[in-house]
Amino acid sequence: MSEEIKPRILKINVLRFDPNDKNDFPHIETFEVEEADGMTLYIALNEIREHNDNSLMFDFVCRAGICGSCSMLVDGRPTLACRTLTSKLGESITLAPLPLFKLIKDLSIYSGEWMRGLNERLETWIHDKEEELNFDKLEERMEPELADEIYELDRCVECGCCVAGCGTIQMKPDFVGAVGLNKIARYHLDPRDKRDDEEYYELIGNEDGVFGCMTLLGCEDVCPKDLPLQSKIAYLRRMMIKTALKN
C-alpha cells in the first residue's frame, strides 16, 4: 500500500556563504531531495552533498543528539539537525547557520571557540582552593540526589541553540547566555567547588550576567537537552539578590 503514496519532494533552502572567498556573498541555494521514511535533516543534507553539491559544508559527529555539532537554524528556529525529522516540517525547509558564532562556511560554525571563551570567562571548573593537589585524598561523598541534580545540568552539550534563541544576546553579545548561567548553576550546586557566593556574584552579578537576562525564554524553549534553564536562571537571580543584600 505504501508504494502508492508518492514521497514528498523537499525543497531545502540553504543559506550559503564562504567568508574566506572574497567573491562570495550570502545567498540562498535550493536543493530538491526526495523524502524517505524516517529521514532526518542529517540524512537530507548528506543526500545533497552526495548528489547535488559536494562543496556544501555542515557539521555532524554523533548523529544522535549527543555531540551538539549539528545545531543550525531550521526555519528560523535553532535546533539539532540530526534530531529533526523532515516529516515534522513543511515541504520547503530553510536552513541557516546559527548566528553570533564564527562562520566557517555554509552551515558550519566554530562554536567551540565561543564556548571556550565563555568557559574561561566563567571559570567553569572545580575551584577546590587547595594549595597542593593531593591525589591520595578521597573525594568527598555526595548524596545520589545531589549527584543527579548536578548531572542533570551537566548534560549541556554546548550546541549553542540557547544562544541563537536568545534575543538578549543577539542585541548584547557580551551577555553570558543560558549556557553560561547553567554552568554557573551547576558549579554552584557542586560541594567540591569552594567558591563562595561573592565570587559567583563577581562572575554573573552584573548586566552581562544574570541581571542582563530579560526572561524571553527562547533558551528554555529550544534547548535540545531540555535543561531546566528557566528555573536555574530564576534561582541564580534570587541567589545573586540575596548575596547583594547580605553584603
Question: Which residues here bind other proteins, judged by CB under 8 A?
Answer: 73, 76-77, 129, 165, 167, 170-172, 198-199, 201-202, 205-207, 209, 211, 213-218, 220-221, 228, 230-231, 234-235, 237-238, 240-241, 243-245, 247
Reduced to 3 states (helix: H, G, I; strand: E, B; else coil), residue 229 is helix
Q: Which is nearer to other proteins, 129 or 137 (CB)?
A: 129
Q: Which is nearer to other proteins, 188 or 237 (CB)?
A: 237
* Cβ proximity of 149 and 194 under 8 Å: no
Q: Which is nearer to other proteins, 46 or 206 (CB)?
A: 206
Smallest separation (angstroms) from other proteins to the CB of 140: 20
For residue 161, give the H/E element and its range: helix 161-164
Smallest separation (angstroms) from other proteins to the CB of 22: 24
CA-based nearest residue to 98, from 76, 66, 68: 76
Reduced to 3 states (helix: H, G, I; strand: E, B; else coil), residue 231 is helix
Smallest separation (angstroms) from other proteins to the CB of 42: 22
* Cβ proximity of 172 and 213 under 8 Å: no
Smallest separation (angstroms) from other proteins to the CB of 63: 26
Torsional class of 12: left (φ above 0), alpha (ψ -120 to 50), beta (otherwise): beta
Q: Which is nearer to other proteins, 76 or 144 (CB)?
A: 76
Reading the block at residue 196, the C-alpha cell is: 563562595
Q: Which is nearer to other proteins, 158 or 220 (CB)?
A: 220
Smallest separation (angstroms) from other proteins to the CB of 217: 5
Q: Which is nearer to other proteins, 45 or 210 (CB)?
A: 210
For residue 182, give the H/E element and its range: helix 177-189
Smallest separation (angstroms) from other proteins to the CB of 72: 13
Question: 79: which strand partners?
Answer: 72
How does DSSP assign 192-222, residue by residue? T----HHHHHHHHSSTTTGGG-----HHHHH
Q: Which is nearer to other proteins, 12 or 39 (CB)?
A: 12
- Amino acid making up residue 166: C
Taking only Cα atoms into account, the Rg of the chain, rounded to an integer number of angstroms, comes to 21
Q: Please tell me the distance from the alpha carbon of residue 129 to that of residue 196, in angstroms, as a whole number.
A: 11
